[in-house]
Structure 1
């Protein structure tokens, strides 16, 4: 197997053990007869449909692959699983062999040197890390390993972590290598969408409900600078179709931002004054949106059409959006939500 396939095999969720892991890998092989099959999103959706009990594992697997940048190699990875593995049992055996190769070697004579001793002696190295300045911390850690004579053993782990986002590095250091990681890095100051939301919780405090385009542009610019523009865009597209009251509710109740008092008392129109689409417009938009969802490729049909009805009840202004755009926004938003770890 090439490096990407090996890394993907090792990315199978650690919570899957024994027969469960073998069955999960059988699902992968079964989804790609002849080596061809759905994209990664489609595979996860297929697992959720056919084997609901494995749905969380499939989602975690997808998250692990995306964190390591392996999702873009998924077609080749799946083909390698089928061609070079062929069955869940064989793939599980290969995974066991690969995992054993990366486990620390403990000197039976009790010598204080070696990789295991280095890990023990440096268990607290990452306690002061807050999830940022990876290159500097990486270099210092590698220097210490080289001084202890275990640079060769450390390098594969550093190479793997180079491809992860900060949260993935925290998890790998803590759960795979057994190091203690600082609270700041573990609780979300490691960057990403969740951290952006926390750090910008008060962004909308000065907003009075007007000049949406200007506030939208400033917020999008900040997200792009934080590297989370892709995650924010579906939310902005959704709010473009809402009136000021709908935007307030979405920012506050869905995204968790603090919204200024003025937006409630001055800029938010009353129910009577607020321009609302007619019942006929809502009915027509509902039907069009449901058809648009059904027309999406199977791997993008992540929201049951009936959820669209519930959405129109809460946000009737969505009737003014283009149905195809609405379906696309909903599918992308759902994919982002599904890819976000619980908790």
Structure 2
């Protein structure tokens, strides 16, 4: 498993990061432990979780995924071998994070979040602490294909990025976190964090965790330039498009036990013309004699601006396929065929 440097930090992370958000609802603690055992045996050293998880978010299961990761690290006594990433929520009306009130990216809420995460994870520090989504009002994922309503509404009490960054500086000084990451962020957001860090000496953003896959290549080109010029690592989530790029939902199928079947949360991949585009990629993969899940995963892992692809699985066979993508030989012919198809179908699932 290839290791790559995270931003300008001293951390080397595996090109595959094990995502964890199904643990605590779709997966039991034992299943989560088994997945981590398999992944780490194959060279993965990078785990990604969040205070929000498991998914779908609800009060009864909030924090369950961090607890599962924490119990595994304690049982295996391997904290020093894990690059551990978790996240704090941005502005949200979900009140269970902060004991009955909405959450924002202010000092009180961020300290509350990290202390609770550290307790669940049974560790003294987090390697990468990420802002799950911006506090300011932006479209989910922060990179739509169209502007939509403009100008975007602004909350009167929006927390300035400089104020949020100062809190992360405190967390670094206190030894609670090592590095800062962003998620679901735009080019402007990343550059603003970098500007404020240069001005104040606060922690520099190391990474951004955004969706990237065959039907959402919106990281190209502006964000990719930021990543290259500023040494910001892309941690790509949803390389399989919430399972839609595995082919299992083609022609409207809804397999028993699949996430979209259980929770009806696949709207991001059910936009107009998405089904046609997803089916076309499934057919393209099979024309090369490759299963769609392996093809989609290998595409992401072979992008030149990627640091790590965050995979998710509910079964060991799914996990094995996702891990195999790191060993798959991606060819120039495959890339050209993907680019040709993308020219026709674009990014239907931002």
Do these two structures clear the TM 0.5 threshold for a shared fold by scoring above it? no
**TM class by smaller structure:** under 0.3
The one of the two structures with greater contact order (alpha-carbon pairs below 8 A, sep at least 6) is 2
Higher helix share: 1
TM-score by length of 1: 0.26
TM-score by length of 2: 0.25
